[in-house]
A = this chain, B = another copy of it.
Amino acid sequence: MGGDWRELKKARTRARIQQEALRLFGEQGYEATTVARIAAAAGVSHTTFFRYFPTKEDVVLGDEYDPLLEEALRRRPESEDLIERVRNAVGEGLAAVYAADRDALLARVRLVLSAPPLRARLWEQLLGTQALLERALAGTGDSAEAPMRVRVVAAACLAVLTTAITAWERDGGRGDLPAIVDEAFDHLRTELR
C-alpha cells in the first residue's frame, strides 16, 4: 500500500500545526505567539515545525491564489484591453474564493494586515504575482521582456486590488468585497480623465 499512510500522517500533522498556529495567532496575536508555543500546542518539536513550514510567516501565507489568477487570465479574450483583462480575471477568481471562504478570508486578511512581518511577506509575494501578470499580459515566458506599459498596468492593478481589500478590512468586512474591488477599478478609470 506504499507510503500512503505516511503521506496521510504528514498531511494531518501539517494541518494540526497550522490550525493550532492560527488559533494562537487569533488569541494572542502573531508576534506574541512563539514558534515553540505553536509546536508544543501541536505536540511536536520546534524543528518539526520548521520541517513543515520554512518560516513562521508561511503558516499564514500560502501562495494558493496565483494559479487561479493565471487560469482566469488565460480565459480572457484578446478583445479586452489590459486593465479590463486583469479586472475581470481578478474579479472572477476573487468571487470564487469569496463565495466559498468569506469568513476565513476576512480572518486571514485581518491577521496579515495587523502584523508587520506578515505584511512584508505579502508584498514580497505580490512581486511574484506581478511577474505572473506581466507574463500573462505580455504573452512572453519571461517577465523581464514585458514592455514598460505592461509593467505599469500590472503594478497599478495590484495597487488597486490591495487598496480595495484594505478598505474592505478597515470597514470590518461588512461590504461586499467583489463590488468594492470593482468600484476601485472604476475610480482609477474615472480619475484618469
Contacts and interface: CB of A to CB of B under 8 A. Distances in A.
A150 to B, nearest CB: 9
Contacts of A123: 119-120, 123
Nearest to A153: B191
A11 B138 CA distance: 50
| Max chain B Cβ within 10 angstroms of own Cβ: one of A123, A124, A152 | A152
Given A159-B158, A159-B159, A160-B156, A149 B82 contact: no
B160 A155 contact: yes
B191 A189 contact: no
Contacts of A187: 148-149, 152-153
Contacts of A191: 81-83, 149, 152-153
Main secondary structure of the interface of A (DSSP, over half): helix
Interface stretch (A35-43, A62-70, A162-170): A162-170
Given A149-B190, A190-B149, A191-B149, A163 B170 contact: no
Interface string A179-192: 00001100111111
Interface of A: 81-83, 116, 119-121, 123-124, 127, 144, 148-149, 151-153, 155-156, 158-160, 162-164, 167, 170, 183-184, 187-192
Given A149-B191, A153-B187, 13 more contacts: A83-B191, A116-B124, A119-B123, A119-B127, A144-B170, A148-B163, A151-B163, A152-B160, A152-B184, A152-B191, A155-B159, A155-B162, A156-B156
